Amino acid sequence: MSFKVRSFKGGGRAGVLQTPHGPVETPVFMAVGTAGTVKAMTPEQVRSTGCQVVLGNNYHLNLRPGLKVISGAGGLHRFMNWDGPILTDSGGYQVFSLKGLVRVRNDGVEFASPVNGDKKFFSPSSVVESQSVIGSDIAMVLDECIAYPNTEEAASRALEKTLSWGAESVKAFDKLGRKSVTTGRDQMLFGIVQGGSHRKLRERSAAETRRMDFDGFAIGGVSVGEPRKEVRDMINFTAKLLPEDKPRYVMGLGDPADLVHAVESGVDMFDCVIPTRHGRTGWLYTSEGIIVIRNAPYRHDYSKPDPECGCYTCSNYSRAYLHHLFRSGEILAHTLNSLHNLHFIVQLSVNMRKALISGEFAVLKEKILKYYG
């Protein structure tokens, strides 16, 4: 596994990340398939959008269907019929979101399952071991992501746990031979830089995390409620603290304008539920901004959802039909809308790569910011 990257004037990068399930061209937007599925879409439909990587979530997959089921299937790739790369999140963010059901300890996190109330415990090593069973190409460490706003003292305490857990994760990963126990294939382990909106903490987090033997680095703790400018400033600040020769990943970023700014800051990888979630609520990305397809003006609009889009939805259906499906409560509305939105965001990442290489990134950025700010 390797990462070859070419940097361009202004900070943007185009690279190729080699994984056990094939190369990934960056910048790359990764579709969120939390429980082993991208909601309302088949793996074949996800692939048709040009999507290269799908995410799974260790927390959700532990709860349902459980590691024994996934292991019995030969790993998550076979279980969900996805032959491309998979990245699994540790599930730490989901655990910390269980208000009243979670207790943070120095050695990990204790929580009650929201499914059946059973007591569960995630340690840094158990999270790595779980993802080894799942068989993902890229595994994420357990970290503590605190809510926004937060004090520097609280962010510092969370950071110390994240650093300690990161070191323990690397040791557990090395004991496993950096391979999946289910498939025998190599895996990568990414560290996570935390620190909230406190620059001194970000600098310490980046410096300490860089010293650990990670294959890539994620910028965590952004897009958790901060003002948009603060998100962008912190991504730009943190990205410059990370190694040039390893992939940089912003977790939970999916707005078109935010993606453009992040790529310009030198970030390589992104994921977010927004494209498919917007699809299920009737919001469609287009080359001229968002349209709310459920609204009355589209009842008699027989034009393509987006005249510049070549996805399956835009090639076969009109705005009027999508409006009808959504207003009628038809499940197909979720599928067609999600397919289009995912295609739009994935193609934006492809176009950003092309624009970096051709020297036309500023033109693309201006167009996106015109409609998405």
- Look at residues 272, 298, 331 and tell me which one is the last residue of a structural domain: 272
Q: 371 with 225, same domain? A: no
pLDDT of residue 219: 97
Counting as low any pLDDT under 50, the low residues of the chain are none
pLDDT of residue 28: 98
Count Cβ atoms within 10 A of the Cβ of residue 331 and give its class: 0-12 exposed, 13-18 middle, 19 or more buried.
Answer: exposed
pLDDT of residue 112: 85
Catalytic-labelled residue, pool 137, 215, 271, 306: 271
Q: 126 with 254, same domain? A: yes
Respond yes or no: is residue 89 known to be catalytic. Answer: yes
Q: 196 with 260, same domain? A: yes
- Look at residues 272, 306, 330 and tell me which one is the last residue of a structural domain: 272
Q: Which helix (H) or strand (E) holds 316?
A: helix 312-316
pLDDT of residue 145: 85
Q: 250 with 308, same domain? A: no
Task: Tell me the per-residue pLDDT of 176-213, one tens digit each, with 9 for 90 and over.
Answer: 999 999 999 999 999 999 999 999 999 999 999 999 99
Measure the CA angle with vertex 21, ends 17 and 27; round to 5°: 30
Q: How far is CA 327 from the centre of its chain?
A: 30
Respond yes or no: is residue 271 known to be catalytic. Answer: yes
Q: 38 with 138, same domain? A: yes
- Look at residues 217, 244, 272 and tell me which one is the last residue of a structural domain: 272
Catalytic-labelled residue, pool 89, 137, 255, 268: 89
* CATH of residue 252: 3.20.20.105
Give the domain range for residue 136. 3-272
Give the sheet arrangement for strand 13-19, strand by strand: 3-7, 13-19, 22-26
Number of domains in the chain: 2
Compute and round to an integer the Cα radius of gyration of the chain: 20
**Count of residues making up the chain:** 373
Q: 219 with 290, same domain? A: no
